[in-house]
Amino acid sequence: MSIFINKLIKDSSKYYCRLKIGDSLIPYTRLRKFNVVDGDDDNYIALYNLITDKCEQVKITEIISYTIEKMKIIENIKHEDSFVKRCKFYYNKAKEKNITDDDFYKLLMNENIVVNDLQEAIYDFNFTIDNNDIINNVISQEKIDTVKEAFIGMITKAANDSKEELYELRKNCEDEEDKEDIDTIVEMFNDCIEEVDLEDVKTLTDLLECWPPLLMPAPDSVERLKNLSIVNPTNLSKLEEFKKIIDSINDKSILRDFIEILNKEKDSITTEVFNEYKAILDEKL
- Locate the domains of the chain by residue range: 3-115, 134-226, 238-284
Residues 6+ apart with CB under 8 A from 73: 14, 15
Residue 148: Cβ within 10 Å count: 18
Q: What is the SS3 assignment for 73?
A: helix
The confidence score (pLDDT) of residue 229 equals 66
Q: Would you call 141 helix, strand, or coil by DSSP?
A: coil
* Burial zone of 193 (CB within 10 Å; 0-12 exposed, 13-18 middle, 19+ buried): middle
Low-confidence ranges of the chain (pLDDT < 70): 1, 178, 229-237
d(C-alpha 43, C-alpha 272), whole Å: 16
Tell me the three state secondary structure of residue 45: strand
What single-letter amino acid sits at 80? Answer: E
Residue 134 has what pLDDT?
Answer: 93
Q: For position 34, what pLDDT does the model report?
A: 95
Q: Which residues contact 238 (CB under 8 A, 6 or more apart)?
A: none
* pLDDT tens string 216-254: 889 999 999 988 864 444 556 677 778 877 887 877 777
Q: Would you call the peptide bond into 217 cis, given omega within 30 degrees of 0 as the criterion? A: yes
Q: Are 39 and 29 in contact (CB under 8 A)?
A: no
The reported pLDDT for the residue numbered 231 is: 44
Pairing of strands 24-29, 44-49: antiparallel
Q: What is the enclosing helix (H) or strand (E) of 49? A: strand 44-49
pLDDT, tens digit, for every residue of 30-63?
Answer: 999 999 999 889 899 999 999 999 999 999 999 9
CA 234 to CA 136: how far, in whole Å?
A: 8
What residues pair up with 59 in beta bridges, in sequence order?
Answer: 44
Measured CA to CA, the distance from residue 19 to residue 65 in angstroms comes to 6
Mark out the alpha helices in 172-251 (DSSP H runs). Answer: 176-194, 204-208, 220-226, 238-247
Distance CA(30)–CA(36), nearest Å, equals 6
The per-residue pLDDT for 236 is 62
Q: Output the pLDDT for position 247.
A: 81
Residue 168: predicted pLDDT: 80
